[in-house]
Structure 1
């Protein structure tokens, strides 16, 4: 993960010849997983690297022992056989290319996932499974489908790096400095470090980011914090002028990074270079790391489950804004174009409004504001769990109708769901905006004045629209890539 981020930033700062690009590009292994993703994917996203749209890349660290020179430290294979996604990071690059958010997903998270990883399995038949087993059962495709289905976030690209590649990248950088506040004696990883700073080679670095059971409470959460500090150190060294002045080291690093890489067919070196160029002014201080907040999974105390606060992260990514900040409207590609005209009038649409905010009366208030505009077939109910923002779900044949509905909820995320028939389902979560007029509304009666807000008053701050939006929860903290590695 750290090598992939660093590699992109390095590409932004150097000129690579055509021959070198050809060789490095041929190093990358590409696998098309589109058939495993299903037809009910979120519609927001699908951005090309050169578009002025947000870009989401899922970076996975595979725990395969294949091609390792020494498997004695980590064993010959996993217990079940095959690979797991030992590290899982969703990298969100903002549309204006001024910020990068790297979200670590704990490998022990218990989440709903497609049974047998089949693309056609409807969400009603999903089963709860440990996160890293999705990769074991169905590779990157199953992992992406699980992420999209639980978050409403569209994954544009994916990249997988293995143990061997991780070690090679660290060695190509001449080792990476780490800082440990306590002594580490971890036989499982072969680590024996005194407190303080150390420069680790590839093998030792792999042990450092994987060590868990002999450190602290032995949880994966603490290991993630150590991995994020390590990634910060990699980014700092990779973009340092010391490295950029050494073409031999630079090439060795990029060669190691690409040799270990598996991506989708549309993410090669050329596309990475395009992303890199757009990020050349981002600065390490604007690369933020965050971990999905979790709590104990009661059926198995050795596992965790996401808390409701995780929705603040997913909503921020869907809306392309800072965690807890109010969404801002995205400009059209030219800055002058208007949104596509709405083609289905409200009276032709069946709508169900679900309250996922935990605030009583919110759905009823929204229904009344819709009915005034001519939405005559509207029902309401409660969502099965608390959510964030607004999600508009629809079957493939109802996309135009769904656009009319979504226009009533600024910042709404649209997502296909093949099992909904002719009904468009709207889920209102924490921070959901008040209903606004749609351009093709019926009648002239003014919308009722809202009296209920979905934003919590105890942790909210004013927004530019006069409403309130949720602030980051105390359980969510970020780390920037320029922070001191001992902090």
Structure 2
């Protein structure tokens, strides 16, 4: 009898333990579910909060025929506004009563393969053609007026800057972000400061900074003074200040990489909260899009992030201003438009050339000489004919402002264009919907190489000796990469 009672007692205890475990498991599951729900709710709330921080602007205002969005490479115009709102002072120079100007203008070009990115500085003192009235769709760059670059923002906001840039360069701007002084300060503080290197001590009352020589870490306040000062360091020119700003941006990129910013939710939130509070952007550039862009370039090396300044020369009418140096600037914008390497640079090794699938005899090639080297197009047509192409010369007056070789083809005819492009090292491909099938046009610009044999050439006749050469391409485009030593 006693053994039965003991057995019953053990059985009851086991059942009680099972019930407790079941209750505890349910509590854990319910608790885990609550945590997941809480995290998800916080994530959504955070995203809505950060998105809500961003002001919005219509960048298509005043544009009648602005191109549609593109699918692959990405161009983001970043404008630094010189408004002092939000920092509680009118320091860092004299406040502009007539409204804000664009203190800094950067076009960030991200390649379609996400293997390179260019950050192009547009000097604020550049004198260029601009629409007389940016709000009027019929007012264009061609029919406009000569104007200092930073006045475009003052006259018509981001939309006017976009309209002017696209009209001058043919480069389509996908997104715009405007950051003011307060936002810049907060972004630097969100990174925990940024390292800079000064060749000598700097005391600049206008910039509100007093710094010793050498490498040092700056907080947001001093960093803003550092990137804005002109008269105290160097020759006082805006171009030299741009060089300093590019070095600072390199240091920011190095800091974000060193601290694994994207992998630190606390620091990332702090940085994004600071950035978005003082940001105005186009309607499509929200937090989700920004994070998507950031993730798409997460494997981009610091040596693949290149800083460039639009090539300039003195503006004759005013020695305190500059104008874009043509055709060097055209060569730079062509590289952005066509998503190719910068003038004078070579593609990175290890890239496999696509197989040529269209025979030369199937392709009609029209050759245009866009240089002032007489006879260049006729010579190149003969070299292409010798390889089986059906080549002819396009008689059009040269502009003398394009660089390299551009191979234009109809929609769906990229394979034929690749066969032609194989004859010219570094040739760019471009689509033209008006070209007929199996017709490819070759445009020879400054620095264009002479034709070489394509791998799938037909016939064995030797190519004629090249006696005419294109004038050399401009070499004024200077660059720096984000991995360079800040003290270098």
Matched, 1:57 2:76: yes
In structure 1, what is the equivalent of residue 13 of structure 2? none
Q: Retained in 2: the 8 A contact 1:353–1:381?
A: no
In structure 2, what is the equivalent of residue 22 of structure 1? 48
Q: Retained in 1: the 8 A contact 2:208–2:225?
A: yes
Q: Retained in 2: the 8 A contact 1:364–1:380?
A: no
TM-superposed CA distance for 1:252, in Å, is: 1.5
TM-score normalized with structure 2 length? 0.72
Which of 236, 244, 268 lines up with 1:250 in the alignment? Answer: 268
In structure 2, what is the equivalent of residue 481 of structure 1? 482
Counterparts of 2:65 and 2:367, CA distance in 1: 21
Matched, 1:127 2:150: no
1:290 to 1:122, Cα distance in 2 relative to 1, 3 A: closer
Counterparts of 1:132 and 1:112, CA distance in 2: 12
Q: Retained in 2: the 8 A contact 1:102–1:290?
A: yes
Mark the structure with the bigger radius of gyration. 2
Say which SS state the counterpart of residue 204 (structure 1) adopts.
Answer: helix
Report 1:211-250 matches (<5 A). 211-241=229-259, 247-250=265-268
Matched, 1:173 2:191: yes
Which of 280, 294, 297 lines up with 2:315 in the alignment? Answer: 297
Which of 363, 387, 397 lines up with 1:381 in the alignment? Answer: 397
In structure 1, what is the equivalent of residue 57 of structure 2? 31
In structure 2, what is the equivalent of residue 467 of structure 1? none
Counterparts of 1:285 and 1:35, CA distance in 2: 37
Ranked by relative contact order (alpha carbons within 8 Å, sequence separation 6 or more), the top structure is 1
In structure 2, what is the equivalent of residue 187 of structure 1? 205
Which of 359, 370, 377 lines up with 2:373 in the alignment? Answer: 359
Q: Retained in 1: the 8 A contact 2:246–2:307?
A: yes
Report 1:5-404 matches (<5 A). 17-39=43-65, 46-48=69-71, 53-78=72-97, 81-117=98-134, 118-241=136-259, 247-307=265-325, 308-317=327-336, 318-325=338-345, 355=370, 357-362=371-376, 379-383=395-399, 386-389=401-404
Q: Retained in 1: the 8 A contact 2:309–2:477?
A: yes
Q: Retained in 1: the 8 A contact 2:91–2:207?
A: no
TM-superposed CA distance for 1:211, in Å, is: 0.3
1:428 to 1:158, Cα distance in 2 relative to 1, 3 A: farther
1:370 to 1:246, Cα distance in 2 relative to 1, 3 A: closer
TM-superposed CA distance for 1:248, in Å, is: 3.7
1:301 to 1:450, Cα distance in 2 relative to 1, 3 A: farther
TM-superposed CA distance for 1:281, in Å, is: 0.9
Measured on the aligned residues, the alpha-carbon RMSD in Å equals 4.2
Q: Retained in 1: the 8 A contact 2:141–2:164?
A: no
Residue ranges of structure 1 left out of the alignment (5+ in a row): 1-14, 340-344, 394-398, 417-424, 437-445, 458-469
1:26 to 1:449, Cα distance in 2 relative to 1, 3 A: farther
Counterparts of 1:406 and 1:119, CA distance in 2: 36
TM-superposed CA distance for 1:240, in Å, is: 2.4
1:283 to 1:392, Cα distance in 2 relative to 1, 3 A: closer
Counterparts of 1:236 and 1:374, CA distance in 2: 50
Q: Retained in 2: the 8 A contact 1:40–1:415?
A: no
Counterparts of 1:415 and 1:189, CA distance in 2: 50
Residue ranges of structure 2 left out of the alignment (5+ in a row): 1-39, 422-426, 434-440, 453-460
Q: How many residues align?
A: 416
Counterparts of 1:177 and 1:224, CA distance in 2: 17
Q: Retained in 2: the 8 A contact 1:363–1:380?
A: no
Q: Retained in 1: the 8 A contact 2:404–2:446?
A: yes
In structure 1, what is the equivalent of residue 9 of structure 2? none
Q: Retained in 2: the 8 A contact 1:216–1:222?
A: yes
TM-score normalized with structure 1 length? 0.72
